[in-house]
């Protein structure tokens, strides 16, 4: 029996919703904040129903009439029978006031609000999403610290972008990779990958120009382990992107995966 927390899957509007052997809530990436705080929706002809409203935007758009914007957002949630809102916008202090207003307005309507940890000080009721990608320490310790501070409001944002670190790790010595770039590096250097009990991620190392690199990435096994860790800590949920996991989604939600030692993603 799978021991996963509530799982939220961010999906692109217009594409068929995935059918998985495990129940998930869909977060529809169809909405953004337009100029002067207007709620805009991509593909307005689509009939979205249920799940969560995922809202993107830039800091330059977050100035305007907060009350009117909250009314637009609440109306859309009620019309589409959505259970809440996911903040997927820029990590900018310019959003602080808007986050506080949305936290209050959504709570009054018994709707959920999911925000990145960056905005934790601006919410009193919302779920706080801790990124799975670390700059140091261990993921278990990071989640334990968060739970001690915010209790059951903590959720895990599972981010699957591969990263290439120049060792020893130092700020500014890392770069994000496309999935095919990480695969090419593994193939080029004929290396094998291993599971890190500290990061709850897969990794491999290679040398280039006499310098040692570590590439951190996720596959079905490491994502399953992150989900299990979220359940262990009693988190309110875990968030994933369908674009990042679609090619091995069946393995995540069904059969166990090989732990490490492989030479292919």
Each domain of the chain, given as residue ranges in start order, spans: 7-161+218-252
Q: How confident is the model at residue 264, as a pLDDT?
A: 55
Instruction: Characterise 60 by phi-psi region: left (phi > 0), alpha (psi -120 to 50), beta (else).
Output: alpha
Q: What b/e sequence results for 226-237 when a residue is b if at least 16 CB atoms lie within 10 Å of its CB, and e otherwise?
A: bbebbbeeebbb
pTM: 0.91
Tell me: domain 7-161+218-252, CATH 3.20.20.80, correct? Answer: yes
Low-confidence spans in the chain with pLDDT less than 50: none
Give the pLDDT score at 173.
Answer: 75
What pLDDT, on a 0 to 100 scale, did the predictor assign at position 263? Answer: 55
**How far is residue 35's CA from residue 170's CA, in Å, rounded to a whole number?**
38
User: How far apart are the two ends of the chain, measured CA to CA in Å?
Assistant: 25
pLDDT at 169: 74
Q: State residue 258's pLDDT score.
A: 54
The phi-psi region of residue 168 (left if phi > 0; otherwise alpha if psi is between -120 and 50; otherwise beta) is beta
């Amino acid at each position: 029996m799978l021991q996963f927390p509530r799982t939220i899957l961010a999906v692109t509007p217009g594409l068929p919703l995935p059918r998985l052997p495990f129940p998930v809530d869909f977060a529809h990436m169809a909405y953004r904040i337009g100029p002067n705080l207007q709620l805009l929706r991509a593909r307005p002809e689509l009939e979205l129903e249920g799940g969560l409203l995922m809202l993107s935007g830039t800091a330059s758009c977050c100035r305007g009439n907060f009350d009117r914007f909250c009314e637009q957002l609440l109306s859309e949630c009620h019309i589409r029978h959505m259970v809440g809102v996911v903040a997927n916008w820029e990590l900018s202090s310019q959003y602080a006031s808007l986050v506080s207003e949305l936290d209050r307005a959504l709570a009054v309507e018994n709707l959920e609000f999911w925000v990145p940890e960056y905005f934790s000080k601006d919410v009193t009721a919302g779920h706080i999403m801790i990124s799975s990608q670390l700059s140091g320490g261990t993921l278990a310790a990071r989640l334990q610290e968060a739970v001690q501070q915010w209790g059951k409001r903590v959720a895990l944002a599972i981010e699957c972008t591969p990263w290439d670190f120049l060792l020893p790790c130092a700020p500014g010595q890392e770069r994000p990779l496309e999935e095919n770039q990480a695969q090419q590096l593994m193939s080029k250097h004929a290396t094998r990958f291993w599971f890190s009990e500290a990061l709850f991620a897969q990794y491999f190392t290679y040398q280039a120009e006499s310098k040692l690199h570590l590439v951190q990435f996720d596959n079905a096994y490491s994502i399953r382990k992150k989900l299990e860790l979220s359940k262990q800590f009693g988190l309110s949920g875990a968030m994933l992107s369908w674009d990042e996991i679609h090619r091995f989604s069946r393995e995540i939600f069904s059969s166990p995966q090989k732990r490490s030692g492989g030479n292919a993603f």
